[in-house]
Amino acid sequence: MTTTLNMVKTGKYANDKIIGVRHVQCILCFFCLSLAYAWRVNLSVALVAMSGPSNATEANATLDSSEEAAEVDLFSFTESEKSYMLSSFFWGYIVTQVPGGYIAQRYGAKMLLMVGLVACAILTLLTPLSLKLGGWQALCVVRVLEGLTQGAVHPATHSLLAKWAPANERGMLATICYTGAQFGTIMMLATSGFIADSFAGWPGIFYFGGICGFVWVLLWWIFAASTPEEHKRITREELKFIEETRSVGKMQDARKMAPTPWGSIFTSMPFLSLLVVHCTHMWGFWTLLTQIPSYMKNIYSIDIKSSSLLSSLPYTVMMILSFFFVWLSKVLQNNKSISTSFNRKFFNSVGHWIPMLSLIGLGYVPQENSVLAVVLLTLTVGISAATYLGFQVNHIDLSPNYAGTLMGITNAAANVMSGLAPLAVGQIVKHPENVSEWRTVFFVAAFFYFIGNLLFVVFGRTDIQKWDTPDMVDEESIEAGLPLAGDKTRQPIPIANGKS
């Protein structure tokens, strides 16, 4: 084990190929997340196109004005009905988080992701029909089902990364996977208007997305595997590299894994600090994404939603900065005096405390300086990409064997916070033109950013926890002088005649 670690540090055991099979898995996960987030936001952009004029005569005149206009149905929704349709996805999404992580760690991520995205692709294709036959209530049912199929995406991706990612590449490979969320959102915002104006009309937004899903499923079926050991095309060199460098502890055989140590997990301070920071991050992040358009429109008279460029700008900057932070992380890793723990906490602090300061500043930008407000907003969202190298990969640090379950737990709780944040804003902001009420919103979000990261800096850890392998003796770690976290008293076990 010591030899392997030395080889990784010296570069002798470094990447034998620029793009290995492990990178292919992450590229496929990138497009998986792209599709998942495109399907998640497609309704918000389609609602603009499917909501027709106030009366039928006006609607027919609009359609007849273009020879290429498609024969599409237009609907009139109340704001209440729109809110139900937009929120219904998350009702199902929260439910399958923890079960999804458990299934992924037991039976592998490949089949789980494939079944989930096939089902979601079918539901996406059926969305226009459901709305036509059953109205907005039927569409809500479809969106709940879509949420159920997507709930396992993040936990399964984490489970896959735990099996495929060498420890020194974990942040980079996780960033490749999860920046797919920004890419999918950008592509949906950028193309939905063109699709809605084409011969397909607004239903084309759903048809095009559903077809892309089936293309991805075919590629996933051919090129993906739940573990390196199961992949038919991986080289021996890359397989050995991954097996000996993905973690200090031992990976359990999924078929022989010990029962999930729930008690140890929920009494682990490193995990509890991870749970809190995930929740506080989502509160701040979703406060930004859901409320900033209203703030900019009421305070600065800028309608972000009407401009695809302004709508996608924060996501574009976030995606670009993600790869800048990966490069910076590599630079820091080359400095052997900097630990993984420092690396995680440094990037998490960048991703939380800089947005905290810019949020506070945003509340004091003069109304006549709208350009500065847009810049601050974009940087606030963009810099949060640093968390991909912070808490968002820490589940795998703490427990490679149960990383999917850990992500399921924290992501489920965090998405509850995502739903509560807009409700809290509604209680605070009674007069949207009153900037002092918005400042209170920003102060609350800033406080969450501050306290969440503070707990992560103080209590967060990057060493594998002893409950990760509850029924296994980690002889390799002991021989290498690397005892498991929290086990300060255990001494090396004497080995005699091959038996302990």
Q: Which pLDDT does position 54 carry in this prediction?
A: 41
Cα 177 from Cα 160, distance rounded (Å): 10
Would the pLDDT of 251 be above 70? no
Would the pLDDT of 11 be above 80? no
Is residue 437 included in any domain, yes or no? yes
Q: Which pLDDT does position 73 carry in this prediction?
A: 66
Is residue 8 included in any domain, yes or no? no
Cα 478 from Cα 491, distance rounded (Å): 8
Q: Which pLDDT does position 335 carry in this prediction?
A: 78
Would the pLDDT of 478 be above 60? no
Shared domain check, 320 and 194: no
At 200, list the tokens: 């397909």
Is residue 280 included in any domain, yes or no? yes
Would the pLDDT of 490 be above 60? no
Is residue 398 included in any domain, yes or no? yes
Shared domain check, 243 and 161: yes
Shared domain check, 301 and 240: no
- Last residue of a domain, which of 221, 248, 275? 248
Shared domain check, 319 and 210: no
pLDDT confidence tier of residue 2, bands split at 50, 70 and 90: very low
The domain of 416 spans 263-466
Q: Which pLDDT does position 4 carry in this prediction?
A: 45
Would the pLDDT of 441 be above 50? yes
Would the pLDDT of 248 be above 70? no
Would the pLDDT of 247 be above 80? no
List, in sequence order, the alpha helices (H) in 335-434: 340-362, 370-383, 394-398, 403-428
Shared domain check, 243 and 278: no
CB 117 within 8 A of CB 157: no
Q: Which pLDDT does position 52 carry in this prediction?
A: 58
What residues contact 16, with CB distance under 8 A and at least 6 apart?
235, 237, 238, 241
The more confident residue out of 313 and 62 is 313
Shared domain check, 334 and 371: yes
Please count the structural domains in the chain.
Answer: 2
Among 215-224, 299-308, 379-388, 422-431, the range of highest mean pLDDT? 215-224
Q: Which pLDDT does position 497 carry in this prediction?
A: 37
Would the pLDDT of 347 be above 50? yes
Shared domain check, 337 and 281: yes
Residue carrying structure tokens 């497009």: 31
Q: Which pLDDT does position 1 carry in this prediction?
A: 44
At 15, list the tokens: 């990447």
Is residue 379 included in any domain, yes or no? yes
Q: Which pLDDT does position 469 carry in this prediction?
A: 79
Interaxial angle between packed helices 340-362 and 269-300, expressed in degrees from 0 to 180 and rounded to the nearest 10: 30
The more confident residue out of 242 and 419 is 242
Distances (CA, A) of 348 to 343, 378, 460: 9, 18, 11
Cα 134 from Cα 144, distance rounded (Å): 15
Is residue 2 included in any domain, yes or no? no
Residue type, 378: T
Is residue 94 included in any domain, yes or no? yes
Task: Give residue-wise pLDDT tens across range 370-417.
Answer: 888 888 888 888 999 999 999 999 999 999 999 999 999 999 999 899
Shared domain check, 284 and 210: no
The average confidence (pLDDT) of the chain is: 83
What residues contact 287, with CB distance under 8 A and at least 6 apart?
421, 422, 425, 441, 444, 445
Task: Give residue-wise pLDDT tens across range 24-66.
Answer: 999 999 999 999 999 998 888 888 788 755 433 443 444 344 4
What is the rounded end-to-end Cα distance, in angstroms, of the chain? Answer: 18
How many other β-carbons are positioned within 10 Å of the β-carbon of residue 59?
15
Residue 153 burial (CB < 10 Å; 0-12/13-18/19+)? Answer: buried
How many other β-carbons are positioned within 10 Å of the β-carbon of residue 67?
5
Average pLDDT over residues 207-232: 95
What residues contact 214, with CB distance under 8 A and at least 6 apart?
118, 121
Shared domain check, 99 and 169: yes
C-alpha torsion sign, points 408, 41, 180, 446: negative
pLDDT confidence tier of residue 433, bands split at 50, 70 and 90: confident
Shared domain check, 324 and 192: no
pLDDT confidence tier of residue 256, bands split at 50, 70 and 90: low
Q: Which pLDDT does position 209 carry in this prediction?
A: 94
CATH number for the domain harbouring residue 121: 1.20.1250.20
Shared domain check, 156 and 33: yes
Task: Give residue-wise pLDDT tens across range 135-160.
Answer: 999 999 999 999 999 999 999 999 99
In the chain, pLDDT over 70 holds for what percent of residues? Answer: 82
Shared domain check, 236 and 121: yes
Is residue 370 included in any domain, yes or no? yes
- Phi, psi for 469 (deg, rounded to 5): -130, 70
- Last residue of a domain, which of 248, 274, 306? 248
Cα 299 from Cα 373, distance rounded (Å): 10
Average pLDDT over residues 6-19: 50
